[in-house]
Chain A
């Protein structure tokens, strides 16, 4: 008796799917397009050939319109306060060498093109580096200043300011050469089931994006908008903070911010978003 019932349910499911494709179902990303200060931001692009996804969508496309609109205008974007602060920090002398960032980097716009290619291989140190490492390397090795903590306000401000210089440019991160093994490790982490709830990143962001999971609309989990201003956090947060939160939600002990594991995951997740525009600082709920 239950067998026929199950078959009926399957047919009903297939029917619902056809409807979903024909009209625009509630689960899909929306069709809004994003332009900031007159500049077009690519929030949707055909996935590269080696991608497990067919089409890539920025997380922006899954947010409610009120949240989306905060990102369309820099005066309304709450993340821009941090950028303003970073502009001051950029000119501020700090450390034993008596230097500010501006003493070596005449204009912050010189950093245009940096964000889309990170993380990248650091030849000198023979390991991958993120934007946080690059900033701290300047501070400790050239300014004689103290390293900022991964999630320190100053660090978030500065990663937002530097990321903003590449806004609108496509993510292009390098996954070959010495980064290949890092990428492989990130991929493995992405597909590993973790926590008591026993899920991998792919369960939510690859297999079920577009669907509601209780009150949240699942996106593809891209990092082109980081650091993001999250309304829930009431401030900016790093990529690794987001990874940490997702792991904790499934009752897993997260890796540490700045750990080899999160750097590998950062590279892998960045590579899944190749072609999407950098949209730092983005706004999420």
Chain B
């Protein structure tokens, strides 16, 4: 556990060196505090990239958000799921700190029973496959990128 954390902060440290815009260290999953359904500060210390967030949103091996959410902005993609609410205009309904919390841990930010995965949490369901165990579904950068993309989904 401590070893894993140390390894992660090492990765975070490397990112701080290689990524030109990263000014602060990445907030590790276990260090994230959800306060009244909100996470105010960026996980990476900087704003995400909405174009990449759009890709992560659609990618079946990454966010795969389209599995459950309809989204007109991605109408070029076939098969939008209907398990969750449509995300058209989602930025009109939620503030950035709330959206960040929903992405990080839907069980805290939305409801304990939700089907929606928690994308930035180390401990998930029982019997998680070895290759995914103790890992987050999305990286801190990907969470911020998806968030930046969600903020573009406005209708008002």
- Contacts from A to B (Cβ < 8 Å): 2, 5-6, 8-9, 13, 27, 192-199, 203-204, 207-208, 211-215, 218, 247-248, 250-253
User: In the complex, are the beta carbons of B137 and A197 less than 8 A apart?
Assistant: yes
- Complex Cα spacing A191 to B79, Å: 27
User: In the complex, are the beta carbons of A212 and B115 less than 8 A apart?
Assistant: no
Please name 20 further chain A to chain B contacts, defined as beta carbons within 8 Å, in addition to the given A193-B125, A198-B124, A252-B129, sorted by A numbering: A5-B93, A196-B124, A196-B129, A196-B135, A198-B117, A198-B125, A199-B117, A207-B115, A208-B115, A211-B81, A211-B82, A212-B82, A212-B83, A213-B81, A214-B67, A215-B79, A250-B125, A252-B126, A253-B127, A253-B129
User: In the complex, are the beta carbons of A214 and B130 less than 8 A apart?
Assistant: no
B80–chain A nearest beta-carbon distance, Å = 8
- Complex Cα spacing A31 to B94, Å: 38
Q: Could you tell me which residues of chain B, from 120 to 137, have a CB within 8 Å of some CB in chain A?
A: 124-130, 132-133, 135, 137
B39–chain A nearest beta-carbon distance, Å = 15
Interface: B49 (CB within 8 A): no
User: In the complex, are the beta carbons of B128 and A212 less than 8 A apart?
Assistant: no
Nearest chain-B residue to A195 (Cβ)?
Answer: B125
- Complex Cα spacing A197 to B98, Å: 21
- Complex Cα spacing A198 to B117, Å: 6
- Residues of chain B within 8 A (CB-CB) of A9 are 85, 93
Q: Number of B residues whose C-beta is below 8 Å from A? A: 33
- Complex Cα spacing A110 to B151, Å: 65
- Residues of chain B within 8 A (CB-CB) of A2 are 92-95, 98
- Residues of chain B within 8 A (CB-CB) of A215 are 78-79
Interface: B68 (CB within 8 A): yes
A261–chain B nearest beta-carbon distance, Å = 10
Q: Could you tell me which residues of chain B, from 48 to 94, have a CB within 8 Å of some CB in chain A?
A: 60, 64, 66-68, 78-83, 85, 92-94
- Residues of chain B within 8 A (CB-CB) of A253 are 127-130
A247–chain B nearest beta-carbon distance, Å = 8
From A13, A208, A251, give the contact of B128 (CB < 8 A). A251
Interface: B118 (CB within 8 A): yes
User: In the complex, are the beta carbons of A213 and B118 less than 8 A apart?
Assistant: no
- Complex Cα spacing A32 to B98, Å: 44
- Residues of chain B within 8 A (CB-CB) of A207 are 115
Main secondary structure of the interface of B (DSSP, over half): loop
- Complex Cα spacing A204 to B133, Å: 22
B94–chain A nearest beta-carbon distance, Å = 5
- Complex Cα spacing A195 to B123, Å: 10
A51–chain B nearest beta-carbon distance, Å = 19
Name the 5 nearest CB pairs between A and B, nearest first: A5-B93, A215-B79, A196-B132, A193-B125, A198-B125
A199–chain B nearest beta-carbon distance, Å = 6
- Residues of chain B within 8 A (CB-CB) of A27 are 82
- Residues of chain A within 8 A (CB-CB) of B125 are 192-199, 250, 252
Interface string of B8-34 (1 = CB under 8 A from A): 000000000000000000000000000
User: In the complex, are the beta carbons of B79 and A196 less than 8 A apart?
Assistant: no
User: In the complex, are the beta carbons of B127 and A252 less than 8 A apart?
Assistant: yes
- Looking at A27, A193, A212, A251, the one whose CB has the most chain B CB atoms below 10 A away is A251
B86–chain A nearest beta-carbon distance, Å = 9
- Residues of chain A within 8 A (CB-CB) of B124 are 193, 195-198
User: In the complex, are the beta carbons of A199 and B127 less than 8 A apart?
Assistant: no
- Complex Cα spacing A8 to B86, Å: 13
- Complex Cα spacing A218 to B125, Å: 21
- Complex Cα spacing A168 to B128, Å: 39
From B78, B92, B127, B130, give the contact of A194 (CB < 8 A). B127
User: In the complex, are the beta carbons of B117 and A208 less than 8 A apart?
Assistant: no
Nearest chain-A residue to B133 (Cβ)?
Answer: A196
Interface string of B132-156 (1 = CB under 8 A from A): 1101010000000000000000001
User: In the complex, are the beta carbons of A6 and B93 less than 8 A apart?
Assistant: yes
A273–chain B nearest beta-carbon distance, Å = 22
- Residues of chain A within 8 A (CB-CB) of B129 are 195-196, 248, 251-253
